[in-house]
Structure 1
Amino acid sequence: MSGYAKWCGRLAGTTMWRSIAAGEEQHVVPDGVMDLMWHDDRLVIAGADTTALAIATRPGAATWGLRFPPGVAHALLGVPARELTDHRVALADLAPVPGEALDAAEDDVPLMLEGVFAALWRRAAPDPSALRLAASLDRAARGHRSVREIADDHGLSERSLRRTGDRLFGYGLKTLMGIHRFQHALHLARSGTALSEAAATAGYFDQAHLNREARRLTGTAPGALLA
């Protein structure tokens, strides 16, 4: 990893991940984030999801991803995140792809993704204040606050907050709050917390409320997701 790529990763808080396909289809659950991915030998931007998606894969194939922190995808690509919601779009359709970074793909996919990220960052030169706003709104969406309270805290009307959420996250704060709450409950349950306790801790009325939310977002019950 180059020094500049390391610096960009620390500055923007990116996260690298890898997924190995167990079958011919993978189900992706909404998590409120956007990613730069290397999938089927091409660079893809994964928009924020509102419901679970089924992605065609080859058993054993690896998909690598670089997770963007809040607001960074919009800052680097110059398009409202709403335009990418529930879509997977080739990076080349959105921004120039640096050829020198792609040269590393065969030997070191993480290095290639970091190189592409660094090139996008240099080209866009994101406004730090815009990224701070996105980070603050995302933190607020993870707490037990109302949309009105979040808007007031940030000096925005609820209508302006909705437009800002569409631009930065791909949907409004109410949807983002619901997805973060669901992911929090899922994380607790995967860590061994009983579903009823996970539901209460994450802010659901009861486990039945969590079950309904899971079916709305993923089409299945939490127990099936954990299995």
Structure 2
Amino acid sequence: MSGLTITPYRIVGGRPGTHAGLPSPTVTLVIDLGTGLTLSTDDDAPRTFRAALGGMHLRPVTIHHDGTQVGVQLDLAPAAVRTLFGLPPGELFGRNLALADLAPGLAGRLYDDLGAAEPDTRAARCAALLTAAPRYRAPADDDAARIWQFLARRRGRVTVAELVDRSGWSARKLSALFAAEYGMGLKQAARLFRFDHARRRLETGAPIAEVAADCGYADQAHLTREVHDFTGLPPAAFLAARAAEFAGATQS
């Protein structure tokens, strides 16, 4: 199936703590093969999941752990969400829910089969299970999908006026079509794509001024405000917190 990335993980021997599930332009599915995945947000108290489906969001999700995490993470593009679940990703926006509530058969197969698989075969096994899963023929609105793809290609470096010109719709009509499909406005989506690209650059050690210029921010202060909006921390503190996640743990 196209439009997804499968990442098995095994983190052991760390100190109990938290780490941030950051906003990104994908829907996240996590099959936890340990003691459960415990998530919280500013609006929701901690809840523990065996298989969690997290919609796109604009604020970080807090992941609580005891120093060990084992499982498989899938990052789903919007089209893959429609193929697997038959609904627009906008219906999941800002939500964390149990996969069993949406697709109980798939949730059971993923949990049981991945738990029984050898660690180095989990990615292939997960791909096979998804290939065999029922497919929904529920394509997105063509205009909304084209705008999303353009945003992805441009990594958010585009104005709402440009998007409206490309669509042929009025700003109000395009905004309504887009929000119905993706759960957020055009400007929010552009900011999300741009932040996702900038965050990855910052995590490689690129200088903040260079990242700001390359990613289309007005200046370093503009990037600093955006990082704070999406992570709750200014860039230096955010990078320090990321580096400290799972301190002392072995990751594979």
Same fold (TM over 0.5): yes
Match status 1:208 vs 2:221:
yes
TM-score of the superposition, structure 1-length normalised? 0.80
Asked whether the 8 Å contact 1:70–1:134 carries over to 2, the reply is no
Higher relative contact order (CA 8 A, sep 6+): 2
Match of residue 188 from structure 1: 201
The percentage of counterpart residues that share the same residue type is: 29
Match of residue 61 from structure 1: 69
Residue 6 of structure 2 aligns to a residue in which SS? strand
Bigger mean CA offset, 69-78 vs 57-66: 69-78
Structure 1: runs of 5+ lacking an equivalent: 1-7
Report 1:30-49 matches (<5 A). 30-39=23-32, 40=36, 42-49=50-57
Asked whether the 8 Å contact 2:156–2:189 carries over to 1, the reply is no
Distance 1:15 1:166, change over 3 A: same
**Quick one: distance in 2 between partners of 1:48 and 1:56?**
19
CA RMSD, Structure 1 to Structure 2 (Å): 2.8
Match of residue 125 from structure 1: 137
Structure 2: runs of 5+ lacking an equivalent: 37-48, 241-252
Give the counterpart letter for 2:23 in structure 1.
P
**Quick one: distance in 2 between partners of 1:132 and 1:210?**
27
What is the CA deviation profile of residues 113-163 of structure 1, one whole-angstrom value per residue up to 9, with x for unaligned ones?
32443244x331354885963752442562422112113213333233323
Residue 103 of structure 1 aligns to a residue in which SS? helix
- Give how far 1:96 is off: 4.2
Distance 1:49 1:143, change over 3 A: closer
Give the counterpart letter for 1:191 in structure 2.
T
**Between structures 1 and 2, the one with greater strand share:** 2
**Quick one: distance in 2 between partners of 1:55 and 1:143?**
27
Distance 1:64 1:124, change over 3 A: same
Q: How many matched pairs? A: 216
Asked whether the 8 Å contact 2:27–2:54 carries over to 1, the reply is yes
**Quick one: distance in 1 between partners of 2:86 and 2:135?**
11
Give the counterpart letter for 2:79 in structure 1.
G
Match of residue 182 from structure 2: 169
Match of residue 238 from structure 2: 225
Asked whether the 8 Å contact 1:34–1:46 carries over to 2, the reply is yes
